[in-house]
A and B are shown apart, each in its own frame.
Chain A
Amino acid sequence: MVMTFRDLTEDDVLRVSAGFDEPEWLRDRRLEAFKAFSDLEWPRGEEEEWRYTNPKRLGLEREVLTGAAQTPALASGIVGTLSDSYGMVRIVDAGVVTATVCAEAQEQAVVVTDLASAARDHADLVRKHLGTAVGTETKFDALNLAAFTNGAFVYVPANVELPEPIAITVQAATDGATAPRVLVVLGENVRAKIYVDHTGDAAATVVEVVEIVVGAGARADVVTAQDWGDNVDHIGAHTGLVGSNGDYRHLEISLGGKTVYLRPDVRLDNPGGNGELLGVYFCDEGQHVEHRSLIHHNASHTTSNLIYKGALQGDSRATFYGTIRIEEHAKATASDETNRNLILTDRARADSIPVLEILNSDVVRCGHHSSVGQVDELQMFYLESRGIPREEAARLLVFGFFAEVTDRIDLPGITEIVLSEVEREIRSGPTALMNQRRS
């Protein structure tokens, strides 16, 4: 019988586990997660979490893939442009096709491997951290933990500073459904850059979890980028769990896909932790993209800052739903959240919903800013009056719009990639903005 996420059974979970020759503890962990999965309902669209993205769009009836496609990994996306990766895992469909780590990193006991091997070879680490940042709270989180179809594991021991990024690529090459899982564990005082890239043109459903455990005093720069083809549905939880005085900086780049529902969260569970969440999205015809972020201040003196900016054209829809939750015991926190949307065509639509849940009065700062607007015609006139053609003027203004985010990205090459992708998006779609003179 064909295995699907929609009708996932315990036997399916056991079969996936057996396929990886997993240790007993991991099989039991999967079964526990399957129990949680069974106890949760599939979203119908009436739930607050699914008010803006219709769960029917998610393609959960696609056949679950096991094993890698025979397709070579693509050298595209943000990772494709990295000259020499320090460590790399390439996931194609449900298989890991390569996992490499340079000799220098090996000497420092850095681990970069597939999750199945890690469960055997680094059992203590995986056992301790798997599911700590993203557990089984939601149907999709539980689904991933019960049935993850492979994944990547990265471990950087305490006090190691990585000179180069570690890259993980997730590629959808074959029509079907997969559940990749990425677990990154950074020890105390580590400095690391982690890039997770998503590409592929298959008709695919990807239920993904990326969990980043940031040790005390560590600094993580994490980029998750998706430039899927037009037939990919992507449900992803991208979560940082931050130790004392740890610093988690995440950039979400969302460009492709058909239905994309991402949860870029940061859990500030320990005193002094900082989370910076940046996001750039560009949506065009047929796309539906939702970012649903939770910044959880769950300890004192934690700080956070979020800036998400998106441009929309065609008939695309984008939702930003950002919650800052400050627990009663989390004293002296500071947080700020900004979401801005630029609508380039009449048919596109964006919703921006900031939510503040503040459970104590000892807050240093907590603010939110949100907007949905069109290109400013006065700015257009100013640029055009200098001889700049309308299309070029629009491009400058869109770049200018994104500058608030891209100026903050301190990762070599990433800003350039973001801007060139945005440029390609602008040029790809005929937009009303550029063809039609508004009065």
Chain B
Amino acid sequence: MAELEIKDLTVEVEGKEILKGLDLSVAKGETHALMGPNGSGKSTLAYAIMGHPAYTITGGQVLLKGMDVGALAPEERARAGLFLAMQYPTEIPGVSLTNFLRTAVNAVSDEDVPVRQFMTRLREDMKALEMDEKFLQRSVNEGFSGGEKKRFEILQMALLKPEIAVLDETDSGLDVDALRIVSAGVNRMRGPDIGVLIITHYTRILNYITPDQVHVMVDGRVVESGGPELAEQLEAKGYEHLRAGV
């Protein structure tokens, strides 16, 4: 059974249908890339999977380990093992990063992780992402550069240990060094216990994180699936020829 299975999903935003019957499956231990031009509905899929209140599922299903999560609150989806690294992480002034992370880790672990143990893990994960400890004094995402925000998303993924992680345009706005660090962070987490869905416009990140499968999305549907070579074709030809085929 696939860990994440999306069946004939239709999603509306402000009354406009963006996803028009999307099918996609990601099994544990696999990394998939979902590619597509701007406006094809990639981020809509990411938000709909996580339960953003502005995205309404009007048909189809999002199944996590066989369970339909469509009616669950975002926090319940997170506790069921879903994680979304956001394209535009929200700034939350006044909420310290440490407090936020500890609250989140305790929430998904269903127990209070001892402070010392938590801090040890946090420091290790931050070190791996080349994040300075000074970060811990700051408020969540407040005044972070684009690269810092993306690193912080991956740090959260490392701490929360999801079973399915969706990375929405994690490569956007990153310079080469930051992309290398973030990709290394994701690669460290890959393994038999996690399925990863990388949503991206460009193939750049796929040079660092090699996917098992690549899917191409156009106008709210997956129109083509294949191996890593599909990404290379897209790199060479662009999305135009696919659009013509729709």
Contacts and interface: CB of A to CB of B under 8 A. Distances in A.
Interface residues of chain A: helix, strand, loop or mixed (majority): helix
A39 B133 CA distance: 65
Contacts of B104: 383, 386-388
B94 A379 contact: no
A63 to B, nearest CB: 45
A404 B140 CA distance: 14
A386 B156 contact: yes
Given A384-B75, A387-B75, A404-B94, A377 B103 contact: no
A437 B73 contact: yes
Contacts of B103: 388, 392, 396
A155 B51 CA distance: 61
Contacts of A389: 75, 107
Interface in B94-113: 94-95, 99-100, 103-104, 107-108
Interface string A396-439: 11011111100100000000000000000000000000000111
A2 interface: no
Contacts of B94: 399-404, 407
A397 B78 contact: no
B190 interface: no
Contacts of B178: none
A139 interface: no
Contacts of B53: 377, 381, 437-439
Contact of B74 (A376, A385, A399, A400): A385
A378 interface: yes
Interface in B79-105: 79, 84, 86, 89-90, 92-95, 99-100, 103-104
B43 interface: no
A247 to B, nearest CB: 26
B243 interface: no
A390 interface: yes
Interface of B: 50-54, 73-75, 77-79, 84, 86, 89-90, 92-95, 99-100, 103-104, 107-108, 139-140, 156, 160
Interface of A: 376-379, 381-390, 392-393, 396-397, 399-404, 407, 437-439
